[in-house]
Each structure stands twice: as structure tokens, then as C-alpha cells.
């Protein structure tokens, strides 16, 4: 993880601060076993990874992409890993 990635995480969290549980510069792995995500689509606060995943899934639908990777490749090709 380089400085550019760290800056991107902070920028993402600051931009979406009203929707996130924590603004800490970290993307924690989510554990969804036996959990119900409350308020995901009604403005509730979420883990950064959960919001990232929701936005990625929405992008797939909106772009008519085949996958999240395809949607990212279309919208931000410079961040795709090969």
C-alpha cells in the first residue's frame, strides 16, 4: 500500500463521512455472518467496505457491466490491477 492508496482511502472516507461509521483511514474487512445491515439504503451509517461494495454493485447495474471489475475498468482504468 503506497501513499497514493492511503490518500485515496482518506479522501473517500472524508467525501462519504455522513454515510460511514468511522473516518479512520482504514478499510476493515467486513464480517456479515449473522448480521443484518440496517439502514443501508435509507441513509444509515455503514462500514467503508460495505458502502464501497454497494456503490460498486450500483455501478455494475448503471453501466450494464458484467462485473464489478468491469465497472471499475470502465470508470477508473488507472486503478485496475493486472
State what percent of residues in the chain have pLDDT above 70: 88
Residue 14 domain boundaries: 3-79
- Give the confidence band of 57 by pLDDT, cuts at 50, 70, 90: confident
pLDDT of residue 81 exceeding 70, the answer is no
Q: What is the pLDDT of residue 13?
A: 93
**Better pLDDT: 38 or 45:** 45
CB 45 within 8 A of CB 34: no
The domain total for the chain is 1
Q: How many residues would you count in the chain?
A: 82
Kindly state the average pLDDT of the residues 4-11: 89
- Give the confidence band of 82 by pLDDT, cuts at 50, 70, 90: low
CB 59 within 8 A of CB 71: yes
CB 10 within 8 A of CB 41: no
State what percent of residues in the chain have pLDDT above 90: 18
Amino acid at each position: 500500500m503506497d501513499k497514493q492508496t492511503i490518500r485515496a482511502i482518506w479522501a473517500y472516507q472524508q467525501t462519504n463521512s455522513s454515510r460511514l461509521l468511522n473516518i479512520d483511514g482504514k478499510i476493515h474487512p467486513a464480517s456479515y455472518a449473522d448480521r443484518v445491515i440496517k439502514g443501508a439504503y435509507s441513509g444509515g451509517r455503514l462500514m467503508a467496505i460495505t458502502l464501497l461494495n454497494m456503490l460498486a454493485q450500483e455501478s455494475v447495474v448503471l453501466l450494464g457491466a458484467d462485473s464489478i471489475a468491469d465497472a471499475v475498468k470502465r470508470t477508473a482504468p488507472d486503478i485496475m490491477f493486472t
